[in-house]
Amino acid sequence: MVSSLIFVNNTCKKELIILKIKYRIFFCILCALTAIALTSSTIYSSKNKTDSDTDTVGFMYTICEYNGNVAVFVYGENEPKVILDCKINSLPESDAANIRHGINIRTDDELQYFIEAFD
C-alpha cells in the first residue's frame, strides 16, 4: 500500500512538473506575441507620422509667384491674399525655384517669418 502511494505521488509530481513547463512555454509565447504586436504598432504609428508630414492636411497658406512677385495665397485658393513687394527675379535661383513650386505654410507665425524674410 505504501508503494502504491509513492507511485501515485511520483506520478502527480511528474504531471505537476509537466504542467508547470507547459504554462511557462505558454507564458513565453504570450510574451513574444505581445512584444511583436507592440513593435508592429510602434513601427506602423511612426510610419504614419512620417507620412503625415508630407500630406496636405493642415496647410493654411501657400507662398508662390504671382505676376513676377512673391505672393501669399490662402491654401487652395487661386487669388492671392497678399502680394509682396519682392520680385521673383531678385531672389537667389534656389529660393526662386522653391517659390515657383510653392511653399506651403501651416501657421501664422511661420507665415510671418517668411514675409519678414522677403521684405
Q: Which tens digits make up the pLDDT trace of 61-99? A: 999 999 999 999 999 899 999 999 999 999 999 989 999
Q: What DSSP line would sit under 79-90, residue for residue?
A: SEEEEEEEEGGG
pTM of the complete model: 0.52
- Give me the residue label for grid cell 505672393: 71
Q: Would you state the torsion angle of the CA atoms of residues 90, 95, 96, 99, taken in this order, to the nearest 10 degrees?
A: -130
pLDDT at 20 over 90: no
